[in-house]
Each structure stands twice: as C-alpha cells, then as structure tokens.
Amino acid sequence: MIAARIAIAAALLAVPAGLTGAWVRSADTRLTELSKAPVELAPVASASDVGYCSPELKRILRRVLMSCGLVGGNAARGCQPVQARSVATMSGHDFNALFKPMQDRGGIVQFDQDRSEVDAADIALVDQVFADQRGASWFFVVARASPEGSAEHNRELSRQRAEAVMAHLRQQFKDPDLDKEVGMLWLGEEYAQLEAEFCAWKRSSTAACNTDQLNRSAFVAWIDCQL
Amino acid sequence: MRRSRPWLLVVLVGAVLGVVFAAVSTYDFVQHLDRQVHNLHCSFLPGVSHSGESGCQVAMMSPYSSVLRGRIWGGVPISLPALSVFAFLVFYALDLALTRRKADPRATGFLALAAVLPALASLVMLLISLTQLGTTCKLCVCIYVASALCLVGGVALWRQAVGGRGEPAPARRRRHSEPRGEPAFVGRGHRDPEPRDATRATTGSDARLVALSGGGASAGFLAAAFAIGVGFVAVPVALYLAMAPDHARFIGSCEGLLHPEDPYGVMLRVDRASHDGVPAPAIEVLDPLCPACKAFEHRLAASGLAGRLDRKAVLFPLDSACNWMVTEATHPGACTVSEAALCAGDKAPDVIAWAFEHGEQVRDAARSDPAAAARLVKQRFPELASCVGSPEARSRLNKSLRWIVANNLRVLTPQLFIDKVKLCDEDVDLGLEYTLSAMLARHARGALAVVPAEKPAPGKPAGKAP
C-alpha cells in the first residue's frame, strides 16, 4: 500500500515537474538555435525611392544637386541657366521631361508679369506641396521667366522668384534641414521653358493657361529619390 | 440510511481537468521563453490551437499571468502552481480512495481546504479578467470550472463525512483507537485491515469505519499532506527557476539610437507619471492608434517601472496617409491623431491617452471614411481644430518620421530606448519587467550600452506591426 501511494505521488509530481522541465529545456534549445540563425526583422525605415528614380535620373539629379549646392559641400546655393544646362547635359525638353512623373508631388507657382512677390494663392500652393513631403529627400524650386525683356533681366527675375519661394519656406516652416533639401534653379528664359502640357499641373493661378503665363513661375516639387 | 454520493469522483474529475487545462496553459506560456510568437491553445477543447488576438493572448501577455517577473524573464506562470495544485488534488483524492478515508471529516476537510486554493485563485483571476483585462480566456474558464468542481466536490464530500459521523454506529463498541507513533501520512495504510473489513461487512459504510477509528486523520497525517502539497508546488517552481533560459545576454543586442537628439522639436511627453529618484532618459517610438502600443503602455504602468523613466515619445503612425514606409493604413487615422498630439504641445499626453482609449473607434471610423479621424479629434479637442491638417502640423509630423529614418529604426511600434539602447522587440511583453529592470540597473551603474551581437538576435516576422 505504501509503495503504491508513493508511486502515485511520484507519478503525479512528475507531471508538473517533468512537463515543465521538458518544455523549458525545449524552449532553451530553440532559443539557442534561433540565436545562431539568420533572422527576419522588420524593414528599416528609409526615405522614399520610387519607381521613376531610374539610374539615369539619379545621375542627373546628383549632378544638379552637387552643382546647385545641396550635396557635396558646395557653398553656392542655386543654379543659373548656364550651370543647369551644363550639368544636366540635355535639352530643355528632356530636362523638363525628368519632372513629369512628379505631377502629383508638385505645383507651379505663377507670378504676375515682371513680379516676384508671392500672393496668398501662391503661398497656399507652396505650403500644400511642401507639407506633403512624405519620404522625399529633395525639394526643387525651378524658377523661370517669360521671354519678354532681356535675358539678363529675366535671369535676375527668375532668381528673385526662386528666392521668394525659399524665403517663404524659411519663414513658414522653420525647418533646420531646409538648406540641405531645397534645391533652387533659376532658368530665366534661356533654358527648359515649360510647355503647354504643364498647364495640367496644380497651379496657383486659376486664369486660363498659356505658355507665357506658365513660365512666369516657380515650379516646386518633392523628388522621391535617394542618391 | 443516506445514500453516499460520489463526491470524491467529482473532485477527481475536476482535478484531472484542472491538470489538463493548466498544463496546456503552462505549455503555451513556456514555449514563449524562446522569444518567438506562438499560437495559443485557446479553446474549451484541450489541444486546439488559435492564432491571433484572443482572450488567452490578452491574459497571457498581461502582468497577471505570472509572478516574479522582475527576477526571471516572463516570471513564473501562475498556471504552473495551478497545475501542481491540481496534480496534488488528484493524488490526494486517489489517496483518500485508496486508504478509504472519504468518510473521514478531517481528511476530507483538508481536501475541501486544499480545493479552496485554486477556487480562490480562479475567482481572483476571473475578477481581474473582467475588470482589468476586459476579456476572458477560454482556457482560463476551463480552469475556473475545474476549480469549482474540486471545491464543490471537496466541500460536499466533507459535509457528507461530517454528516455520516453522526449516524448511529452499531459496531461502535468495536472501536479502534488511532495507533500512536506510526508514520503520519503513509503509515495510515498500515492499519490492520481485518477490523475494517469486519466493520464494512457489518455496515458497508466508510462513515461508520471512521466513527470506529475515533475521529479520523491525525494532525501528523494532515501536516504530512500539507507538506506533500507544498512539495508538489515547490518542486516544479524550483525546477522552472533553475532551468529557465538566461535572457540577460540579449540586453543591448538589439540596435540603438544613432541620433537621439531632437533637432526638429518633435519629441513629446507621453505621460504625466511622477519620477522616482533620477529617472533614466527614455525615448519611445509609438503610434497613438496602435493596439500594441496601448497594451505596452498598460504593461509598463503595471510594471511599476514607468516612474523610473524620463520618457519622451516620437510618433510613428503606421498609416500610409502620411507614412511612406507602409503600403497600407495599418492603423487608419493614426496620421491625424499624431498631428493632434504634435499640435497639443504640453497637452500631448491627454491626446495620446484619449487615442489609446478610443483607438478602436477611431480606426474603425477612419477605415471607412478617412476624414472621420479628424472629425473625432476636433470634436474631443476643439482647440486643436485649426492646427490639425495644417501644413505646419503635417510638416512637423513628417519631421517625426524623418527622425525615425535618421535613426535607421525598424518599421515597428512600439519601440523603447533607454539611454540610446533599445529594449528588444521580444522583451516588450512577457519579458518587460525583467529586461527593463536589468537595463535600468545597468544604466544606474553606467554599464548600459549597445553590444554587438555575435549572432543575430531572434526577431519577429518582418513587416508586420503588432
């Protein structure tokens, strides 16, 4: 009788003790094995690099960004038409074509003739586009002028338009990264004039669109490419 | 003459059921010691597994599922002592049957008392489930039922024994006195069977047998039974404590913060907890509509360690409306709520607390109508109406996301960093108290640092936010 009772006690004690021991040992073994195995982790956060960021676009983007003072430690800020043309090494039409995939990420801030002040509608568009940064790393401000007037005057006018947009961004967003992520180009009337198809983009003017009006502008867009 | 009911069998059945369900529950808990995510056996049928969120998942991940959490990773699951107690009840019930003590008021009284323990524990756990967790777990319910069976059977058996003791005993004159000096527990089996058999032949009743034996189990018998019961609990628990894997080696092995500074001013206070002593600097990456973040917040509060952290939050909404790193709105409306928190400034803890409380409602509303989250936020916090959705708020939230990118963090919430060292993703639930306590202790000694892991640490499946 005693032996039977001891056996029962031992058998029943072995249930929690034995099972626990076996399960803990098994978990420990798995833990050791898993510690040695390559693991699948959640992806690492990164900036956007979307489909249109072809190697060719990135190459040109890098050259433009370096020449225009955003990357590479160049102290100069902004590119003039001659620089833009030389670093892009492409026709104005091809240069504009680079930006076409960014239609839903950009807008065209339209200025009055021979003016470089931003009005409320311009500010609203700039704010709307800039606030929608998402994962983009670069913000381009590409200012132009319509062909009226001299090339020098228009070059200066387009620079003032780009600066006006930049000044507003500085004042509105107080973003410490602004100088590292906003690239300015002022193209005057000399290079990469916008064609009529850009009338379909978001614009700050509701007036009828023609190419002269379209080029009294600063094109703004986020570019979702990593370099 | 009263008909004897099989209450001992009721106890036995309840105890066996308790063993089975407590074993399944213990197994579910123990398998998580490998730091992986496992399916749970959350069913009224033992062995049927269940994946995803369930009452069992909530109960197991809650701070109430185990004890000694600060001493050992995950703590000792309370289902383990439950398993032990039920195993003891099986043993004791069998022993009563073998030694024919089911009519012994003292021996059965001890059984009833022993059955009170799991019943009381079940009652407490049921109350916790209903009041604290807001859910019940099927496996736990099975254990509650098993406990109830044991208690009902034990008490009824005892009452039957007490009642039987008062019955007339024709053979009382043949009374046997308790032998003195014999071994207290197992020694009871040595009684000379001859008189008992003779009595049984006369009465056919164990009650009369006990009456003949002069009042039932001795104090020594009861003490021995108690000691054996303690042994049933102590041995498996000691074994568990001795064998549990060492998780301290993973501390600091799960990356760290490259740039903990806050150049964009996007860090928010996440709680209003008062601090104990000099708190350790902590940064929590969270999504205000993430259920896992809410659960983590509750676990952290329950751990009692929140007061030792000077905690700031960086918002990381897993919502494709603003977060380009996720392909869909895992938590719809999280971008809007995050903007509200950023707009709220000093009142950010209020917004985050509201979001945790009403997260499900906001997510459900935003899933069918993306503008619903903004409506709900503005309804609750009208003072933020002009800020939420503004370019400034959107830009600031974007900077919060870019802080995540700058630190090369995983697309996952929640994440907690103590002085730049990450609390591993595997340690945010069961292992929270143990790991966080250890990290805080190391921080206090100046010894907390990111350590390069020789081998990759185990991780959870990629791309899936909890």
- Concatenate the DSSP letters of all residues of B278-315 into one string: SPEEEEEEE-TT-HHHHHHHHHHHHHT-GGGEEEEEEE
Same domain, A161 and A120: yes
Q: Are residues A8 and A113 in the same domain?
A: no
Angle at alpha carbon of residue B202, lines to B201 and B205, rounded to 5° = 80
Work out the minimum CA distance from B275 to partner chain A, whole angstroms: 32
As a whole number of angstroms, the distance between CA B466 and CA B464 comes to 6
Q: Tell whether the model's pLDDT for residue B216 goes beyond 60.
A: yes
Q: Are residues A103 and A151 in the same domain?
A: yes
Q: Whole-angstrom Cα distance, residue B441 to residue B426?
A: 19
Question: Which of the four pLDDT bands, split at 50, 70 and 90, describes residue B135?
Answer: confident
Average pLDDT rounded to a whole number, residues A200-209: 92
Q: Is residue A94 assigned to a domain?
A: yes
- Which residue range(s) make up the domain with A29? 1-37
From A181, A184, A179, select the one nearest A81 (Cα to Cα). A184
CA–CA separation, A173 vs B151, rounded Å?
69
Please state, in angstroms and as integers, the Cα–Cα distance from residue B202 to each residue in B44, B170, B171, B172, B343, following that order.
Answer: 46, 9, 8, 11, 89
Quote the pLDDT of residue B278: 81
Q: Is A107 helix (H, G, I), strand (E, B) or coil?
A: strand
Taking contacts as CB-CB distances below 8 angstroms, the residues of chain B near A223 are none
What CATH number was assigned to the domain covering residues B250-445? 3.40.30.10
pLDDT of res. B154: 94
A43 within domain boundaries: no
Give residue A59's pLDDT band: very low, low, confident or very high (50, 70, 90).
confident
Give the pLDDT of residue A126. 95
% of residues, chain B, pLDDT over 70 = 82
Contact of B292 with chain A, judged by CB distance below 8 Å, is answered with: no
What is the structure's pLDDT at A205?
Answer: 92
Q: Are residues A100 and A136 in the same domain?
A: yes
Residues A201 and A112 placed together within one structural domain of the fold: yes
**Ranked by mean pLDDT, which of A120-134, A167-181, B213-227 comes out on top?**
A120-134
Can you tell me the mean pLDDT for B151-170?
Answer: 78
Q: Rounded to an integer, what distance in angstroms lies between the CA atom of residue B15 and that of residue A15?
A: 13
Q: Does A47 fall in a domain?
A: no
Looking at residue B208, its pLDDT comes to 45
Phi, psi of B315 (to 5 degrees): -80, 135
Looking at the structure, tell me whether residues A32 and A111 fall in a common domain.
no
Q: What is the pLDDT of residue A87?
A: 67
Amino acid found at B14? G
Which whole-number Å values give the CA distances from B277 to B12, B101, B307, B432, B447, in the listed order? Answer: 53, 59, 9, 21, 18
Which residues 125-164 on chain A approach chain B with CB closer than 8 angstroms? 127-128, 130-135
Cα-based distances in Å from B215 to A161, B93, B105, B207: 106, 19, 8, 10
Average pLDDT score over residue span A120-140: 92
Q: Is cis: bond before B77, omega within 30 of 0? A: no
A21/B243 touch (CB, cutoff 8 Å), yes or no: yes
| B458–A39 C-beta distance less than 8 A | yes
pLDDT(A178) > 50: yes
Adjacent-strand bridge partners of A138: A223
Question: Quick one: A184 and A212 in the same domain?
Answer: yes
> Percent of chain B having pLDDT more than 90?
61
Query: Is residue A57 packed enough to be buried (19+ CB in 10 Å), middle (13-18) or exposed (0-12)?
Result: middle
- Residue B166 DSSP SS3: coil
Cα(A191)–Cα(B157) distance, integer angstroms: 100
B351-366 per-position pLDDT tens digit: 999 999 999 999 999 9
Q: B277: distance to nearest CA of chain A, Å?
A: 35
Supply the pLDDT for residue B194: 37
Higher pLDDT, residue B182 or A144: A144
- B interface mutation test: which of A24, A138, A168, A223 has the most B CBs within 10 A? A24
Q: Is B43 helix (H, G, I), strand (E, B) or coil?
A: coil
Question: Testing the interface with B: which of A6, A26, A29, A35 to mutate, by most B Cβ within 10 A?
Answer: A35
A189 DSSP 8-state letter: T
What chain A residue is nearest to B25 in terms of C-alpha separation?
Answer: A20
Average pLDDT over residues A73-89: 64
Tokens of B262: 């806050």
Higher local confidence (pLDDT), B46 or B236: B236
Q: Residues B34, A30: contact at Cβ < 8 Å? A: yes
Of A26, A131, A224, the CB nearest to B395: A131
Q: For the domain that residue A217 is a member of, what is the CATH number?
A: 3.30.1330.60
At residue A65, the pLDDT reads: 76
| B84 touching chain A per CB within 8 A | yes
Q: What is the pLDDT of residues B390-407, one digit of tens each?
A: 988 998 999 999 999 999
* Residue B61 confidence (pLDDT): 84
Q: How far apart are CA A147 and CA A187, in angstroms?
A: 11
* CB-CB under 8 Å, A23 with B26: yes
- Report the alpha-carbon distance of residue B461 to residue B412 in Å, rounded: 11
DSSP per-residue letters across B60-87: HHSTTSEE-TTTSTT-EETHHHHHHHHH
Distance in angstroms (rounded) separating the CA atoms of residues B85 and B94: 14
- pLDDT surpassing 90 at residue B204: no
Name the nearest CA neighbour of B75 among B364, B429, B382, B330.
B429
Nearest by CB to A9, which of B84, B91, B408?
B91
Sign of the alpha-carbon dihedral angle for A114, A117, A121, A126: positive
Contact B111, B227 (CB under 8 A): no
pLDDT at A90: 77
Higher-confidence position of B338 and B275: B338
* CB neighbourhood size of B310 (10 A): 15
The verdict on A66 and A3 lying in the same domain is no
pLDDT grade, residue B235 (50/70/90)? very high
- Cβ-contact B241, A23 below 8 angstroms: no
Task: Answer whether B91 touches A (CB < 8 Å).
Answer: yes
B451 neighbors B253 (Cβ within 8 angstroms): yes
- Which amino acid, one-letter code, is at A195? E
- Name the amino acid, one letter, at B114: A
Measure CA B188 to chain center.
Answer: 40
- Does A174 share its domain with A217? yes
| Shared domain check, A113 and A28 | no
Q: What mean pLDDT comes out for the span B109-121?
A: 94
Average pLDDT, chain A: 87
Alpha-carbon gap, residue B381 to B178, rounded angstroms: 78
The pLDDT assigned to B1 comes to: 45
Give domain status of residue A50, yes or no.
no
pLDDT digits (tens, 9 = 90+) for B176-196: 444 444 444 544 444 433 334
Per residue in B67-89, pLDDT (tens digit) is 999 999 999 999 999 999 999 99
Using alpha carbons, select from B247, B253, B249, B259 the residue that is nearest to residue B420.
B259
Q: Return the sign of the alpha-carbon dihedral for residues B357, B361, B362, B367.
A: positive
Same domain, A81 and A159: yes
> By the CB < 8 Å criterion, does B399 face chain A?
yes
On the question of pLDDT at A219 being above 60, the answer is: yes
CA distance linking residue A44 with residue A203, whole number of Å? 36
pLDDT above 60 for B206:
no
How many distinct structural domains can be found in chain A?
Answer: 2
* Domain limits, chain B: 7-243, 250-445
Residues A25, A89, single domain; the answer is no
What is the pLDDT of chain B when averaged over all its residues? Answer: 84
Q: Give the torsion sign (CA, A124, A129, A132, A138).
A: negative
CA dihedral A202, A204, A206, A207 (to 10 degrees): -110
Rounded to the nearest 5°, which phi and psi values hold at A198? -75, -5
CB neighbour list of residue A185: distance below 8 Å, 6 or more residues apart: A64, A68, A78, A79, A80, A84, A140, A141, A142, A143, A162
Within 208-267 of B, beta carbons closer than 8 Å to A belong to 228, 231-232, 235-236, 239-240, 243-245, 263-264
**Residue B173 scores a pLDDT above 70:** no
Range 80-119 of A in CB contact (< 8 A) with B: none
Contacts of A97 (CB under 8 A, 6+ apart): none
List the 415-444 stretch of B: residues with Cβ below 8 A of A.
425
**Can you give the pLDDT at residue B56?**
81
Query: What is the C-alpha separation between B277 and B441, in angstroms, rounded?
Result: 13
Asked if the Cβ–Cβ distance from A1 to B19 is below 8 Å, we say: no
User: CA B421, CA B253: separation in Å to the nearest integer?
Assistant: 9
Q: Is A49 inside any structural domain?
A: no
Question: Is residue A42 a part of any domain in this protein?
Answer: no
Q: Give the residue ranges of DSSP H helices in B214-347.
A: 219-243, 291-303, 334-344
pLDDT at B286 over 60: yes
- Considering only B7-21, B156-170, B250-264, B297-311, which range has the smallest mean pLDDT? B156-170
Query: Rounded to whole angstroms, how far apart are CA atoms B312 and B266?
Result: 10
DSSP state of B382: G
**Chain B: residue whose CA lies nearest to A46:** B405
Q: Which residues of B touch A27 (CB under 8 A)?
A: 30-34, 245
For residue B456, pLDDT beyond 70:
no
- The per-residue pLDDT for B187 is 44
Give chain B's radius of gyration (CA, Å): 29
If 0-12 CB within 10 Å is exposed, 13-18 middle and 19+ buried, where does residue B355 land?
buried
In a domain, A81, yes or no: yes
Given B87, B322, B392, which is nearest A12 (Cβ)?
Answer: B87
Q: Residue B460 has what pLDDT? A: 43
Do residues B293 and B414 lie in contact, with contact meaning Cβ atoms separated by under 8 Å?
Answer: yes
Interface probe for B, chosen from A5, A13, A19, A20 (most Cβ of B below 10 Å), is A20
